[in-house]
């Protein structure tokens, strides 16, 4: 299950947030409703939710646009010149999106929506290398993702975690990835659950295929959405 956004930062860091959230939020394992278990998260959770965007969602999307264009320009350029990419990324997800996602893990989602942010920092040359060399391994700098998940009964629960992602590219496509989880800051019960999940992923790399899918989705489909803007800057 993936937790995505339209940005590369989200494609790598946020793509694994729902795995963490679902484990942290589920007070006990429970079978998800059949419709949730069968639901596909392809497209809708990666991008905008169904229906009209709220004013907050519109503002978040607009705030990510310049960063998205800059990332796409770097991915699709053969010149590594220019400053590195730095943006503050914010993304909210609705409860119905998260219900679809955690249904894949056979658990329920007892919270409302979620709101996450991170300060993205990417070396422009690394992205060019990933797309132009026959095979390249890119190790990104440590990123801290901060999230708040809401509950009608318990109020907001805040937590954060560090990632130092590593992605292997071959002929311009991601083929392997590791989240490389680090420090976790969270209430005791959530931290314990997160530590178990992240330790397992660090050991056996459970989430590699989901992260690879997210990265490739961003490079192709998401960048195509703003091609006129980044192509004009080449």
Q: Per residue of the chain (234 residues), what is the pLDDT tens digit?
A: 333 332 333 444 444 444 444 444 444 334 444 443 343 333 334 455 667 888 888 898 888 889 889 989 999 987 877 789 998 988 887 888 777 765 655 556 667 788 888 898 889 999 999 999 999 999 988 989 898 887 777 778 898 989 898 999 999 999 998 888 899 898 887 777 677 777 877 887 777 787 888 889 889 998 999 999 998 877
- Output the six-digit token pair for 170: 């071959």
Report CA-CA distances (Å) from 96 to 53, 60, 99: 14, 18, 5
Cα distance between residue 67 and residue 72, in whole Å: 9
Residue 120 burial (CB < 10 Å; 0-12/13-18/19+)? buried
Residue 48 is predicted with a pLDDT of: 59
Backbone dihedral region of 78: left (phi > 0), alpha (psi from -120 to 50 degrees) or beta? Answer: alpha
Torsion angle of C-alpha atoms 178, 179, 183, 185, degrees rounded to 10 = -160
Residue 169 is predicted with a pLDDT of: 95
Name the residue ranges covered by the structural domains of the chain.
8-231
pLDDT tens, position by position, 108-165: 666 778 888 889 888 999 999 999 999 999 998 898 989 888 777 777 889 898 989 8
**Closest to 64 (Cα-Cα) out of 116, 19, 16:** 116
Sheet holding 114-122, edge to edge: 85-93, 114-122, 143-149, 157-163, 181-185
**Residue with structure tokens 């699709």?**
76
């Amino acid at each position: 299950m993936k937790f995505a956004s339209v940005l590369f930062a989200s494609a790598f860091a946020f793509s694994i947030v729902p795995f963490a959230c679902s484990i942290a939020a589920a007070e006990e394992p429970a079978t998800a409703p059949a419709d949730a278990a069968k639901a596909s998260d392809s497209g809708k959770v990666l991008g905008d939710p169904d229906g009209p965007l709220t004013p907050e969602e519109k503002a978040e999307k607009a705030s990510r646009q310049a960063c998205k264009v800059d990332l796409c320009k770097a991915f699709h350029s053969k010149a590594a010149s220019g400053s590195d990419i730095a943006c503050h990324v914010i993304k909210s997800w609705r409860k119905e999106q998260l219900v679809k996602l955690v249904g894949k893990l056979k658990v329920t989602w007892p919270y409302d929506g979620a709101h996450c942010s991170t300060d993205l920092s990417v070396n422009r040359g690394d992205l060019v290398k990933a797309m132009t060399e026959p095979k390249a391994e890119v190790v990104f700098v440590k990123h801290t993702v901060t999230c708040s998940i809401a509950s009608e009964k318990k109020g907001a629960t805040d937590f954060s975690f560090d990632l130092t992602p590593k992605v292997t590219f071959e002929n311009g496509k991601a083929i392997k990835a590791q989240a490389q989880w680090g420090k976790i800051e969270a209430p005791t019960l959530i931290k314990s659950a997160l530590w178990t999940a992240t330790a397992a992923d660090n050991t056996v790399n459970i989430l590699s295929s989901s992260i690879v899918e997210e990265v490739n989705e961003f490079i192709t489909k998401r960048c195509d959405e703003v091609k006129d803007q980044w192509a004009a800057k080449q």
